[in-house]
Amino acid sequence: MAETNLYIVRHGKTMFNTLARVQGWCDTPLTKSGREGIHYVGLGLQDTKFEEAYSSDSGRAIETMRILLSEHPEGKDIPYHVDPRIREWCFGSLEGAYDAEMWGVLPRVLNFKTEDDLFATDVSFEEIANAVEGADTANWAESYSQLRDRVWSGFEDIAQNREKQGGGNVLIVSHGLTIAFLLSLIDSKQPVRANLLNGSINRLRYENGEFSIRAINDISYMERGKTISDHTDA
């Protein structure tokens, strides 16, 4: 049986990413530079064989996956599935606000003075999720337990199903906080990360019911794709 590996890509840069606005369950399309970045990631992944592909049901994730598959020599033959469980956090009434507004509210809820203070401490994703839920005036935000169960079941089911079918690599497009949250669920010593790069790859191995982390925030595939593109254009 082959190893079961998940290549989890953060979607390409979007309009709201560029405008520094909160983007959870709300959605905006990839920008021109965002599409270009994912084009490079796709070129960098051309030599990696994938048994199947998954993305969240958000438009920005679907657009990212379509670009990745279009650059892969076997892209048309790779089975592709959409799973809403691996979408981004729901930020409730904070959706669409400027990032600074949300990260300005949460430190006050968590009794910190600034965003920098918040991330300089050992604050947990559970505390952040509880703060978002508390700050949400619309009562739409997910509770920590809902978030944990959704994210974990989504990625674990993908890994388990692939392992049962003989293993191999799975290409996945998800979202910044969701990916960082998953990493913390796998390894409680992982810090809270709010800075995973668009187009970065986070690689996990799944074996005998357990995940292990092999790479975090890896942009080497994007860099490789740029080199391939430069040589092709020359």
206 bridge partner residues: 4, 211
What does the pLDDT read at residue 93?
95
CA–CA separation, 147 and 164 (whole Å): 26
pTM: 0.94
Per-residue model confidence as pLDDT tens digits over 188-211: 999 888 789 999 999 999 999 999
| Alpha helices by DSSP H, the chain | 15-19, 32-44, 59-71, 99-109, 115-119, 125-135, 144-164, 176-186, 220-233
3-state class of 64 per DSSP?
A: helix
| Both structure tokens of 187 | 């390894």
| Both structure tokens of 88 | 């981004």
Q: Which has the closest alpha carbon to 171: 60, 8, 2?
A: 8
CA–CA separation, 30 and 130 (whole Å): 30
Per-residue model confidence as pLDDT tens digits over 120-148: 667 889 989 998 998 899 999 999 999 99
Largest CA distance in the chain: 55
Contact criterion met (CB below 8 Å) for 29 and 61: no
The DSSP letter of residue 165 is T
What number of other Cβ atoms are within 10 A of residue 17's Cβ?
20
CA–CA separation, 64 and 157 (whole Å): 22
Q: What is the chain's Cα-based Rg?
A: 18
Mean per-residue pLDDT over the chain, rounded: 93
